[in-house]
């Protein structure tokens, strides 16, 4: 078997990881930013699983000055100060590497690239295929037939492997050892290597084509015509020093390649678990430590939208399904709860070690006692148990109530709808009492459930999920996460009742009431306790106005809108689907005609071969991880202007996507009971305060193209007595800018029209 | 053209700079710079507003909307310019986006109340971006239109007497109504 050694440039990768996640920072329950740890660990795991190295080591720079610093005081002097989140991440990262039993190497007086260079050369002699894992272009000078640069994937791109051919192409040079000549001539802004002032990459390459080496260029300064010759002559010393600075030192006696030390070994699970727990790497922990992927309770539980959290920064299709995972949130791939913060490992309280009094109210007498008791209350915490997460299709299984910490009631509901309504009637005086404030976690769901049975809550609403939304717009807020973060309490997991998510998951309906009682009563109890925590915080953070005047009152409005739904013209969608299919077919045929061959247009592999091998549309076409040509939209858009065939491919893709994602999918969303589509609004997701919607996701219905706009024709009035009305704010954001900036000219533009 | 104009306005306001604007509009960088310079000349207080907002955020750790919806941006004082840059853009963007959100939410609450008071058969159905969609009973159509517009226009009074404006349309489907 070919021996494969991977040498990682730790800091370069850590920095990259940190910035890749900067838009969606990972923050632990204690407020630590773990971008760097998370991103780096993912890169490491990805390498081990997908590249299957036999040997590996991670190299760090040290804080000791290197020869380069002593030679040239300005070396790397322009570097930004390292963000504190990164420097504080380094000890964790070292712990993780060590727990994976991978050697950490740092040699005083040398930078990581020197150490990697030295190790790579030794390993090459011993017959290894060496990959230097780094985004840094300077490594080009070390590349050979058996030593390559592995550039990890970044921002949605695939990884790249650069051998001598690629390096030479990149710099437009003939031999890789000219990389240092190039860098010497042009300098390197990143490392503050000066180079010759006024000489850039192209000029440097041109000079080297003629003279071969930097030294030879300098010697021939007199022969170089015009200004350039003057520049070269004047920059001689700088150039020589720059070349020296850019040269990676591979002769380091302290760097020794030990085959056995570098061999990939078993990981230290205990140590890994410990550090992952500290960093709250839940999903990674499960993936690596073999507990199997668990589904979070909230995914099957409407109380607080952990499914919504996961979709927060992810592109979604019409129905809120994730269609594209941005590279920067790799955790979301494995686990719909985003993997973090939900069950952090910090909660040490749970139902078994916490005093509680959870009461099953399943007889006439007990229910009467309960309603009498509740009738005297001003605030009642309320929750429902149901058969599913879609309130428009689920049935009530039970109700739970709590008015005092540690004490809660669970009332099972009969499966028969009429019987259930009879039971609910006993609670009607409560539901109708305008003086009662109802506390709930994502109470819109529970209100929607009640509405399907014909009941509404007349009083005010206090939604703990929304309270948290205004207190901490960026945070995670599934009930489990909030409970652990604010109460240090791990709730009963829904998996314990109905099993893991998936087709074998059971129904709440089949679980005995006594067993549901603990789970359901606990939910009401915990929600009440969360309200106690949030109440003072709303005041302290001065967000009471937005909470009491906007978010809470909106809950009833959204409940009513979701309940109504909208009628969909199925016939139109059927016809439109056929039309799109027909036109996609025309575009497809046109592609085959121009290609001179029939192939599977839906196959990126075959498409890539036709465009780039057969038709040679782009000699520099890029390949993906799997070795096939990249044929993503960005790639094709660049080629579309000059090539009709590419234009046709884009048309084919647009139409087939419109068809499958929207036109064919929308009818499937129609509710059987009502014949209408009931969009669900997410009120606590967008950090700016905007609403978002799922099933279907209205924001995603295309508006830019005419073909996309047509989809709106499918939304129609309920019957012939109605018409659809649409009201739209015009230029609202600009008006707000004018108003809050007070810019006189801009205000006038809106005032006098 | 409107798409272009909108990009210009917001591109500048959100500080994407000449480079970002040129990329977005597919125009040369020099042209983008000229647009931005002209814009700043025409609306001199916008830059001041942006600076004030960022300074407020640096001092208080948050920015807020007209209704007091807050966004905490702990990176606003970061020593690292990339990190800080994200926070600064969010500091400028959040109050604007957030105030628009506050406004339409308040309008929805108002409309819901009005519809209930008048016992209209018409129903509010959808909210998307800055738009609301209704099933309007034909008998009520001319009554509810001014009610809706009035609720939207008075939902949240903007400072400096800047009026809000809403448009309304009807049709046999959403495309036609919009």
- Give the minimum alpha-carbon distance from B176 to chain A in angstroms, rounded to a whole number: 7
| DSSP codes joined into one string, B119-144 | T-S-EEEEEETTEEEEEEETTTHHHH
Token digits of residue A274 = 């410990």
- A548 to chain B: nearest residue by CA? B67
Name every residue whose Cβ is closer than 8 Å to that of residue A605 and which is 6 or more positions away in sequence: A628, A629
Q: Using CA coordinates, name the residue in chain A closest to B168.
A: A727
User: pLDDT: is A290 or A587 the higher one?
Assistant: A587
Structure tokens at A284: 């990674």
* Residues shown for chain B: 178
CA distance B48 to chain A (A): 8
Quote the radius of gyration of chain B (alpha carbons, Å).
20
Q: How far apart are CA A475 and CA A567, in angstroms?
A: 35
User: pLDDT for B116-174, tens place per residue?
Assistant: 999 999 999 999 999 999 999 999 999 999 999 999 999 999 999 999 999 999 999 99
Per DSSP, A9 falls in state E
Taking residues A297-310, report their average pLDDT. 42
Question: In chain B, what residues touch A734 (CB-CB under 8 Å)?
Answer: 9
pLDDT of residue A640: 79
CB contact under 8 A, A474 and B44: no
pLDDT in tens, A334-363: 222 323 333 334 577 889 888 899 999 999
| Stretch 39-68 of chain B: residues touching chain A, C-beta under 8 Å | 42-46, 48-49, 65-68
Cβ distance B167 to A541 less than 8 Å, yes or no, reads no
| Alpha carbon of A670: minimum distance to chain B alpha carbons (Å) | 15
A313 has a pLDDT exceeding 50: no
Residue to mutate among A78, A687, A689, A712, with most B CBs inside 10 A, is A689
Instruction: Return the residue of A nearest to B61 by Cα.
Output: A541
Q: Does B83 contact A22 at a Cβ distance shorter than 8 Å?
A: yes
Name A5's Cβ contacts closer than 8 Å, sequence gap at least 6: A53, A54, A55, A56, A57, A119, A120, A123, A128, A129, A130, A131, A262
Q: Whole-angstrom Cα distance, residue A8 to residue A102?
A: 11
**Residue in B67, B80, B81 nearest the CB of A545:** B67
Confidence of residue A225 (pLDDT cuts 50, 70, 90): confident
What mean pLDDT do residues A449-473 have? 97
- In CATH, what number does A565-722 get? 1.20.1060.10
Burial code (b: 16+ CB inside 10 Å, e: under 16) for B78-110 equals bebeebbebbbbbbbbbbbbbbbbbbbbbbbbb
The shortest CB-CB distance from B168 to any of A698, A722, A727 is to A727
Residue A139 pLDDT > 50: yes
Under an 8 A CB cutoff, do B123 and A735 touch? Answer: no
Looking at the domain A346-564, which fold is it?
Answer: Nucleotidyltransferase; domain 5 (3.30.420)
Domain A4-260 top-level CATH class: alpha beta
pLDDT given for residue A342 in this prediction: 36
pLDDT mean across residues, chain A: 85
d(C-alpha A584, C-alpha A590), whole Å = 10
CA-closest candidate to residue A447, choices A403, A391, A374: A391
Q: For chain A, what percent of residues have pLDDT higher than 70?
A: 89
Buried b (16+ CB within 10 A) or exposed e, A216-250: ebbeebeebeeebeebbeebbebbebbbbbbbbbb
Q: What is the pLDDT of residues A388-423, one digit of tens each?
A: 989 999 999 999 999 999 999 999 999 999 999 999
Contact B162 A739 (CB under 8 A): yes
Confidence category of residue A306, pLDDT binned at 50, 70, 90: very low
The alpha-carbon gap from B89 to the nearest alpha carbon of chain A, in Å, equals 11
Pairs of residues, one from chain A and one from chain B, whose beta carbons lie less than 8 Å apart? 279
Pairing of strands A55-59, A4-9: parallel
Q: Which residue has the tokens 């059987």?
A: A672
Among all residues of chain A, which has the CA nearest to that of B135? Answer: A724
Q: Would an 8 Å CB–CB cutoff place B98 in contact with chain A?
A: yes
pLDDT at A164 over 50: yes
Dist CA A743 CA B5 (whole Å): 18
In the numeric block, the tokens 């860098």 are attached to: A183
- Per residue in B61-119, pLDDT (tens digit) is 999 999 999 999 988 988 887 888 888 989 998 999 999 999 999 999 999 999 999 99
- Percent of chain B at pLDDT > 70 equals 90
User: What pLDDT does residue A76 have?
Assistant: 63
Sequence spans of domains, chain A:
4-260, 346-564, 565-722
Q: B19 to chain A nearest CA, in Å? A: 19
Find the closest chain B residue to A21 by CA distance.
Answer: B83
**If DSSP codes are grouped into helix, strand and coil, which group holds residue B67?**
coil
* Structure token digits, residue A73: 């005081």
Closest residue in chain B to residue A686, using alpha carbons only: B98
Q: The whole model's pTM is what?
A: 0.67
Please name the residue that has the structure tokens 């008015």: A403
B72 at A interface, C-beta within 8 A? yes
Minimum mean pLDDT range among A268-277, A470-479, B46-55: A268-277
ipTM above 0.85, yes or no: yes
Chain-chain contact of B70 with A541 (C-beta, under 8 angstroms):
yes
Q: What is the DSSP letter of A212?
A: S
- How does pLDDT run across A553-580, given as a tens digit for each residue? 999 999 999 999 999 999 999 999 999 9
Residues in chain B within 8 Å Cβ distance of A744: 45
Over residues B14-30, the pLDDT tens digits come to: 566 777 777 777 788 88
Q: Do B168 and A726 touch (CB under 8 A)?
A: yes
Q: pLDDT of A69-119, one tens digit each?
A: 666 666 665 556 677 788 888 889 999 998 888 989 988 888 898 999 999
With CA atoms as reference, report the closest residue to A534 among A622, A439, A451.
A439
- Chain B partners within 8 Å of A84 (Cβ): 79
A127 and A3 in contact (C-beta within 8 Å)? yes
Choose among A557, A693, A723: nearest Cβ to B172.
A723
Residue A680 backbone dihedrals phi, psi, to 5 degrees: -110, 130
């Amino acid at each position: 078997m070919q021996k494969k050694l991977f040498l990682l440039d730790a800091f370069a990768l850590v920095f990259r990881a940190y910035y890749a996640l900067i838009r969606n920072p990972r923050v632990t329950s204690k407020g630590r930013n773990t971008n760097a740890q998370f991103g780096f660990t993912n890169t490491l795991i990805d390498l081990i699983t997908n590249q299957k190295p036999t040997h590996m080591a991670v190299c760090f720079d040290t804080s000791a000055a290197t020869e380069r610093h002593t030679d040239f005081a300005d070396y790397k002097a322009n570097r930004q100060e390292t963000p504190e989140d990164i420097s504080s991440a380094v000890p964790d990262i070292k712990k993780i590497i060590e727990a994976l039993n991978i050697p950490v190497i740092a040699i005083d007086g040398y930078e990581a690239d020197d150490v990697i260079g030295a190790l790579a050369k030794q390993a090459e002699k011993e017959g290894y295929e060496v990959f230097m894992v780094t985004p840094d272009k300077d490594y080009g000078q070390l590349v050979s037939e058996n030593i390559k640069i592995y550039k990890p994937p970044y921002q949605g791109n695939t990884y790249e492997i650069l051998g001598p051919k690629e390096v030479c192409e990149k710099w437009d040079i003939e031999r890789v050892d000219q990389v240092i000549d190039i860098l010497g001539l042009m300098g390197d802004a990143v490392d503050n290597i000066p180079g010759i002032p006024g000489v850039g990459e192209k000029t440097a390459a041109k000079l080297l084509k003629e003279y071969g080496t930097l030294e030879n260029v300098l010697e021939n300064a007199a022969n170089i015509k015009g200004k350039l010759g003057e520049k070269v002559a004047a920059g001689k010393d700088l150039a020589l020093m720059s070349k020296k600075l850019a040269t990676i030192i591979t002769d380091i006696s302290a760097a020794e390649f030990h085959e056995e030390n570098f061999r990939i070994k078993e990981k230290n699970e205990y140590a890994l678990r410990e550090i992952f727990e500290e960093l709250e790497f839940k999903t990674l922990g499960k993936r690596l430590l073999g507990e199997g992927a668990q589904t979070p309770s909230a995914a099957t539980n409407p109380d607080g939208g952990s499914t919504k959290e996961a979709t927060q920064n992810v592109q979604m299709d019409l129905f809120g399904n994730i269609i594209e995972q941005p590279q920067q949130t790799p955790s979301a791939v494995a686990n719909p709860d985003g993997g973090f913060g939900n069950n952090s490992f910090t909660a040490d309280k749970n139902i078994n070690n916490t005093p509680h009094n959870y009461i099953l109210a399943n007889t006439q007498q007990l229910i009467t006692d309960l309603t009498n008791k509740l009738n005297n209350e001003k605030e009642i915490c309320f929750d429902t148990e149901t058969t599913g997460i879609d309130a428009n299709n689920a049935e009530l299984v039970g109700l739970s109530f709590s008015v005092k910490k540690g004490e809660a009631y669970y009332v099972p509901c009969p499966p028969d709808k009429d019987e259930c309504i009879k039971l609910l009637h006993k609670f009607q005086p409560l539901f109708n009492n305008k003086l009662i404030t109802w506390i709930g976690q994502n109470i819109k769901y529970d209100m929607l459930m009640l509405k399907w049975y014909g009941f509404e809550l007349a009083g005010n609403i206090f939604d703990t999920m929304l309270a948290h939304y205004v207190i901490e717009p960026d945070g995670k807020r599934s009930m489990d996460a909030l409970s652990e973060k604010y109460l240090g309490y791990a709730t009963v997991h829904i998996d314990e009742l109905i099993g893991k998510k998936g087709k074998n998951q059971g129904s709440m309906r089949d679980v005995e009431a006594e067993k549901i009682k603990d789970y359901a009563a606990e939910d009401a109890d915990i929600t009440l306790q969360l309200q106690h925590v949030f109440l003072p915080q709303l005041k302290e953070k001065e967000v009471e106005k937005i909470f009491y005047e906007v978010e809470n009152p909106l809950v009833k409005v959204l409940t009513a809108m979701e309940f109504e739904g909208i009628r969909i013209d199925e016939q139109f969608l059927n016809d439109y689907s056929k039309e799109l299919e027909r036109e996609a077919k025309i575009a497809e045929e046109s592609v085959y005609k121009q290609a001179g061959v029939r192939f599977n247009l839906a196959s990126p592999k075959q498409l890539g071969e036709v465009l780039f091998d057969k038709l040679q549309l782009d000699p520099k076409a890029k390949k993906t991880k799997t070795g096939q040509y990249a044929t993503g939209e960005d790639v094709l858009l660049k080629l579309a202007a000059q090539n009709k065939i590419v234009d046709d491919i884009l048309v084919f893709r647009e139409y087939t996507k419109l068809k499958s994602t929207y036109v064919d999918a929308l009818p499937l969303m129609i509710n059987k009971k009502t014949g209408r589509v009931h969009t669900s609004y997410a009120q606590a997701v967008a950090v700016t305060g905007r609403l978002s919607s799922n099933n279907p996701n209205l924001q995603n219905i295309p508006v830019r193209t005419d073909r996309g706009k047509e989809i709106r024709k499918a939304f129609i009035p309920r019957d012939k007595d109605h018409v659809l009305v649409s009201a739209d704010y015009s230029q609202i954001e600009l008006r707000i800018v004018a108003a809050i900036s007070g810019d006189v000219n801009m205000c006038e533009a809106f005032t006098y029209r | 053209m409107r798409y272009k104009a909108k990009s210009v306005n917001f591109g500048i306001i959100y500080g994407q700079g000449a480079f970002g604007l040129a990329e977005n509009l597919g125009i040369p960088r020099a042209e983008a710079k000229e647009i931005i310079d002209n814009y700043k000349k025409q609306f001199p207080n916008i830059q001041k507003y942006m600076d004030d907002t960022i300074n407020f955020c640096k001092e208080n750790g948050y920015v807020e909307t007209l209704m007091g919806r807050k966004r905490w941006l702990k990176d606003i004082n970061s020593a690292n310019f990339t990190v800080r840059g994200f926070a600064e853009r969010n500091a400028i963007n959040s109050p604007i986006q957030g105030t628009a959100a506050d406004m339409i939410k308040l309008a929805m609450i108002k409309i819901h109340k009005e519809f209930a008071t008048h016992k209209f058969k018409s129903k509010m159905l959808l909210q998307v971006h800055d738009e609301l969609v209704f099933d309007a009973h034909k008998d009520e159509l001319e009554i509810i239109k001014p009610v809706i517009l009035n609720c939207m226009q008075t939902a949240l009074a903007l400072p400096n007497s800047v009026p809000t404006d809403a448009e309304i349309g009807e049709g046999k489907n959403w495309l036609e109504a919009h």
